[in-house]
Structure 1
Amino acid sequence: MAVPRPDNRGTRHVGGIRDTRGIVDPSGLLTRVRFRRHEPAEPLRRHVETYWFIDWDLPEPYVSQVVPHPSVNVSFQWDGDENEGAPPYGEVHGVALGLFTRKLAGRGRVCGAKFWPGGFRPFVPDVPVSRWTGRVLPVQDVFVQAGRDTARQVVSPADDAARIAALDAFLISLAPAPDPQADLAIDLVTRIRANRTVRRVDDFARAEGMSVRALQRLFAAYVGVSPKWIILRYRFHEALELAGTRSDIDWAALAADLGYADQAHLVRDFTATVGVPPAAYAQAHRP
């Protein structure tokens, strides 16, 4: 039985930003940029989790950092003042294994589509998603259907409705075929995301009636990273979110709750990923 996917549906234009998981210093980012999320057209919703739009006009450069989700993203971007006269461009971002860092300067905008983990494979059915992991490629290198004007058509409109329509039109034109294995991968990742008690790959595979090897093959082909990597990444997102929103955290208890062997493992993981220990991050971003 399929687990319902996280609800981002509601109205056609979702707008705003309700979930900041994975964003390092979300308040710092959101005070500098205009960040919105929108829902894709109905035929795309089995594959695309959300559209995300960012516009900025900054007097000083700002470095944004994100601990990425296990998702492939397709983005169309325009860097206005930093590269005067440079045309808009499109990129395909495979699942990023480390911290994603981007310097924002001058004026610019990004219109992105975040795919469900497992939802990208039907758009390029002959290539395992692990091929894109850790890579950023020009959109034309992945989709021959992307014309020279595709990026301009997406990012040039001043209003979000027109940008959404352009993204819808491009992705629908790719005509992804139904793929039950993609649906299975999406549902399995959603189970991991929703159930924080999932800590061991072998236990999860057994509960789903699969061998560990079959689960690993499915995730390599459709998600791009291993089940263990996803379990670790989602519990790290929870630690990052709590560190940025609460000042009364019992780190030892949190480590145990999230499935870390002990507090030292959580501190080591957090410091290696974000660059500072969790307590220092919490103090710097104390609500």
Structure 2
Amino acid sequence: MEYNVYDPREELARQVRYHWSLDAGADGPKERERIFPDGCIELIFNYGELFRKHEPDGTSSLQPRGILYGQIRSYIEVQPTGAVGLFSTRFNPAGLQPFIDVDVNNFTGRALTVAEIWGDDGIALEAAMIACDNNENRKATVENFLLKKLMSVAYDNRDVEYCVESLLKSEGSVSIDKMADELEIGQRQLERKFVAAVGLSPKFLARIIRFQNTLQLIEKKEFISFTNVAYDSGFYDQAHFIRDFKEFTGLNPKQYFSENLEMAKHFVFDE
């Protein structure tokens, strides 16, 4: 399986975090994969075999070739059905808004086709992306499309971008009232703008940032104990971290790290 990351061109760096591609032959892994919330919205094109999305109620469906995933508040579960060929644009938390003419929170918890987002332009983009013969061409194609959309949509997103950056730098610890004071704007007005542009409240994005930072520390084994990790990441205690972990992954940390007993043994549960 080959995974690659591509930096966006300079004109899109405020909106796009990066692009990524994933390629694997038909004999590659076919297991279900859980995707966790990370505060970003994904625009994904599938030039391989279609993926199947599994729902909590046991149903499943094949995903379209061009799809935009709004913010997710809990995990989603997907599974390849054959050879994998994916190219994705990962937007910064407030990055999608300048390319569309509706509020981003309309898409939270939803996956829409590119036709539902951009109409005939989206259909043409999907066809062009699938027709490309390599990922460098796919990157150029999607970036040219986004630049045209960026020029045609007038939207001032600077207040929200400032808040997102503050949350990222503080690892989710800065408060909405402090950011509102710094921007000289009402707290409720700022929160409404934030939800419209990001698809999540500042408080919920802060929870995701803390969860992701903690997950990275654990997976890199940069910790002494999980209690210290929880405190260092802004959680009140280990129980607080465990509750968020279960909400975002559908698993408790002991289950998640079950293949690594050295990690799992740090968690103590009453149940």
Shorter chain as denominator, the TM-score bin is: 0.7 to 0.9
Matched, 1:188 2:166: no
Q: 1:173 to 1:209 in 2, by over 3 A?
A: closer
Residues 217 and 229 in structure 2, CA contact (< 8 A), matched pair in contact too: no
Give per-residue Cα distances to partners, 1:1-27, cap 9 Å, x unaligned.
xxxxxxxxxxxxxxxxxxxxxxxxxxx
Q: 1:107 to 1:212 in 2, by over 3 A?
A: same
Equivalent in 47, 67, 76 of residue 45 of structure 2: 76
Equivalent in 140, 156, 159 of residue 131 of structure 2: 156
Identity, % of aligned positions = 24
Aligned equivalent of 2:208: 233
Aligned equivalent of 1:166: 141
By how many angstroms is 1:134 displaced? 0.8
Aligned equivalent of 2:190: 215
CA distance in 1, matches of 2:207, 2:51: 36
Q: Which runs of 5+ in 1 are unaligned?
A: 1-32
Give the aligned residue type for 2:18.
T
Q: Give me the TM-score of the superposition, normalised by structure 1.
A: 0.77
- CA root-mean-square deviation: 2.7
Matched, 1:202 2:202: no
CA distance in 2, matches of 1:99, 1:87: 16
Number of matched pairs:
251
Aligned equivalent of 2:82: 106
Mapping 1:1-287, distance limit 5 Å: 33-59=1-27, 60-80=29-49, 89-125=65-101, 127-146=102-121, 148-174=123-149, 175-180=151-156, 182-196=157-171, 198-246=173-221, 248-282=223-257, 284-285=259-260
Q: Tell me the secondary structure at the aligned position of residue 97 of structure 1.
A: coil
CA distance in 1, matches of 2:129, 2:224: 43
CA distance in 2, matches of 1:243, 1:87: 32
By how many angstroms is 1:229 displaced? 0.3
By how many angstroms is 1:172 displaced? 2.3
Q: 1:137 to 1:147 in 2, by over 3 A?
A: closer
Q: 1:176 to 1:187 in 2, by over 3 A?
A: farther
Give per-residue Cα distances to partners, 1:169-223, cap 9 Å, x unaligned.
222232343533x122122101101113725433443454443212211111211
Give the aligned residue type for 1:172.
L
Residues 38 and 208 in structure 2, CA contact (< 8 A), matched pair in contact too: yes
Give the aligned residue type for 1:116.
N
Q: Give me the TM-score of the superposition, normalised by structure 2.
A: 0.81
CA distance in 1, matches of 2:205, 2:152: 25
By how many angstroms is 1:258 displaced? 1.9
